[in-house]
Structure 1
Amino acid sequence: MEFLTQINDLLTEHLGEFGPLIVVGILGLFMILLTVPMMLSQPEDPLKKLKRDIDPKTQKKPKKEQLRQGGRNEQLDRFATFLEPQDAEELSAMQLKLRQAGYQSKDAVRFFHFAQFALGIFGLICGVVYVTIIAADQDFDSQAMLIRVLGPGGVGYFLPRYWITRRVETRKENITAGFPDSLDMMLVCVEAGQSLDQSIVRVAKELRASYPDLADEFEVVAYEMKAGKDKDKVLRDMGIRCGVSDVASFVTVLIQSATFGTSIAEALRVYAGEMRDKRVMRAEEAANKLPTKMTLATMMLTVPPLLIILVGPSAKGIMDLGNMSSN
């Protein structure tokens, strides 16, 4: 007991009030870093393997079915309860947000939470290294030490979420910018005699160089239609994945055109014209906002030099007169 007290006093003397807590945290992190690779590399339990072979629900599936349901990382399956939200609604919302960011993998949610966990631990390690090694000669109070230790960990934990949010906004802007061109190209393909499925494939191919995000969405639609999914369901899923009101309206136009038997070419022509008008309106709106945004910068860069030029000589003369009168 006396030995533990001496260690506690030594840590408190060198690391401050939270010295023992920092050491325990470092040991816990090292234990986690050592345990995770061991859990990933350990062989499968023979009893679980026998139960899986006997259970008809978990028997090995045919090769074609494996291809249809493939794409998951088997090593991450062991940590599914830790890397996936247990609430189905929360899991669906996270999957939708990652798809809107362009990450279509089945393991996207798991990789996202793994990135949060790994970057959070890395930030904590950086904070501890800063407090114990880099700034060891500085004295911090308890609040400052907590900020310097937990701050990098919090930044690392929330960094993937911030990245996903920015990625979603950027992708929506790219889709909105390229959508009018895709409608014009689709209209040309339909009027040339191609079906809607063929026109979507051609548009996805032609847009790859200029608007890759929109091309990815059209490719997903084309593959799902080839797989035999319901066309209305495929189009609605595209509108949800994109998260852009223009795409959702386009999906509604196509579904209504197919439902009521109207010409798809005529519907595309009218809607493409509306999208071109909206693009012109967005450009005019951005141009009208530009003078307002430049006002502050213009004032900061022009008013101080102007005041120096106009008021400077007068102020210098007044100061000289004051000095002469005082003398």
Structure 2
Amino acid sequence: MYDLLVSFTKPQTLAAWLVAAAVFGTFVTVFLPYLQGNKLETRLKAVATQREKLRKQSRAALEKKGLRRRDESLVGEISSKLNLAKALEDPNVVKLMNQAGLRGPGPISAFYFARMALPFVGAAFTFFYIFFVNDLGLSVMMKYGSVVFGAAAGFYAPNLYVSNLAQKRQKSIMRAFPDALDMLLICVEAGMSIEMGFNKVSSEIGSASPELAEEFGITVAELSYLPDRRQAYENLALRTGHEGVKAVCMALGQAERYGTPLGDALRLMAKENREMRMSEAEKKAAALPAKLTVPMILFFLPVLFLVVLGPAYIKYQKMEKDNDAAPSLTTTQVESPVDHA
């Protein structure tokens, strides 16, 4: 044992141990980074994989909804053969139908077909009603004018329907948009990418506003395959057609271009949209008394007059009957003694 300790304490042995430790340290220093791997590259690969997964899911969802390049239905074939899109061309129809949630060639073909067919239907219905059912005492000129009015109403009916549908969709989107911005802000500040944030918010906001969830889902798909990501934000602004959404999309586009923080922009935009929603509610509340004037005059005041004046009128009628019965009784009582005499 003593000899072993003496051998370990020799200068040559200690030098050998120091050289071995230095070689091992050098080996670890040189080869350890290769053994650990590149975490950044692994994370970028995971993000690319997730983006590709979102792209496939979004494209599958879009294809499932029937967003094809050509409408193969009967209405689409008729519209294509008659070339209704060129004959009844409307420059704003695509934008308006996108705002109404009607996308793809199918709704556009149906719109132009309805614009072609409904004038004939309206004119035929008006002609049959006025000339065969009820002429309303109109002159011949007024009857034919009514037929022309029916045709014009049928021509503009599709525009009114799509406009009404777009307004309802816009109201549904704006009711849930500030809350969606808050959730998107939380996702971004938690470290998610903007695509994953939009995808998460679209799945969470669906119960409150299916329309907004659909728009966010389409934005995720466009962020995945469009060459310019700012175009996806511009398309979202065009599909919604609201100033609040346009401001948010502009802020997102600037953040994408100049690299400004998304958190501050989203927080500010969420506050502005919430204030905008509150101002809209206050405006409706302020306009409520003026809107209630006509219903109160037509429905409330007659009932009030009936309740207030009804008992007085009944009492007055009863007094009139008593006054009519009193003179006849007095005359009978006075004339009775004379008859007995």
Q: TM-score interval w.r.t. the shorter chain? A: 0.5 to 0.7
Q: Which residue in 2 is equivalent to 1:13?
A: none
Q: Does 1:204 align with 2:202?
A: yes
Compared CA separation, residues 131 and 278, structure 1 to 2 (3 A): closer
Cα deviation per residue 1:68-88 (whole Å; 9 max; x = unaligned)? 9734346232222x33357xx
Report the residue type matching 2:211 in the other structure. Answer: D
1:197 Cα deviation from its structure 2 partner: 0.8
CA-based RMSD of the aligned residues comes to 3.6
Deviation at 1:128, TM superposition (A): 3.7
Unpaired segments of 5 or more residues in structure 1?
1-66
**Alignment pair present for 1:92 and 2:91:** yes
Q: In the TM superposition, what is the alpha-carbon distance from 1:245 to its structure 2 partner?
A: 0.4
Residue 146 of structure 1 corresponds to which residue in structure 2?
144
TM-score, structure 2 as length reference: 0.63
Partner in structure 2 of residue 59 of structure 1: none
* Counterpart Cα distance in 2 of 1:69 and 1:168: 22
Whole-angstrom distance in 2 between the partners of 1:68 and 1:303: 57
Matched, 1:286 2:290: no
Instruction: State the match for 2:266 in structure 1.
Output: 268
Does the Cα contact within 8 Å between 2:67 and 2:104 map onto a contact in 1? no
CA contact (8 A) 1:187 1:269 kept: yes
Code of the residue aligned with 1:111 in structure 2: it is A
- C-alpha separation between the residues in 2 aligned to 1:141 and 1:295? 38
149 and 305 in structure 1: CA distance in 2 versus 1, 3 angstrom threshold: same
Map residues 55-134 of structure 1 onto 2, 5 A cutoff. Answer: 70-73=69-72, 75=77, 76-80=79-83, 82-85=84-87, 91-131=90-130, 133-134=132-133
Is the CA contact (8 Å cut-off) linking 2:223 and 2:229 kept in structure 1? yes
1:45 maps to none
Q: What pairs with 1:164-313 in structure 2 (closer than 5 Å)?
A: 164-299=162-297, 301=300, 304-305=305-306, 308=309
- Residues 152 and 257 (structure 1), Cα distance of their counterparts in 2 relative to 1, 3 Å cut: same
Relative distance call for 1:160 and 1:187 in structure 2 (3 A) is: same
Note the C-alpha offset of 1:134.
3.7
Aligned residue in 2 for 1:161: 159
Give the structure-1-normalised TM-score: 0.65
Identity of aligned pairs, percent? Answer: 24
CA contact (8 A) 1:115 1:160 kept: yes
Change (3 A) 1:319 1:105: farther
Answer whether contact 1:101 1:164 (CA < 8 A) is retained. Answer: yes
Deviations 1:245-283 (A, max 9, x none): 000010111122233322212221222122223323333
Change (3 A) 1:310 1:287: farther
Amino acid at match of 1:269: R
Is the 1:253–1:267 Cα contact (8 Å) retained in structure 2?
A: yes
Determine the C-alpha separation between the residues in 2 that align with 1:269 and 1:109: 38
Structure 2's unaligned 5+ residue stretches are 1-65, 325-341
Cα distance in 2 between the residues matched to 1:131 and 1:292 = 38
SS in 1 for 2:207: coil
Deviation at 1:200, TM superposition (A): 0.9
- From the superposition, tell whether residues 152 and 285 of structure 1 become closer, same or farther in structure 2 (CA, over 3 Å): closer
Superposed CA deviations along residues 282-305 of structure 1, whole A, max 9, x for unmatched, are 333333333343344345516534
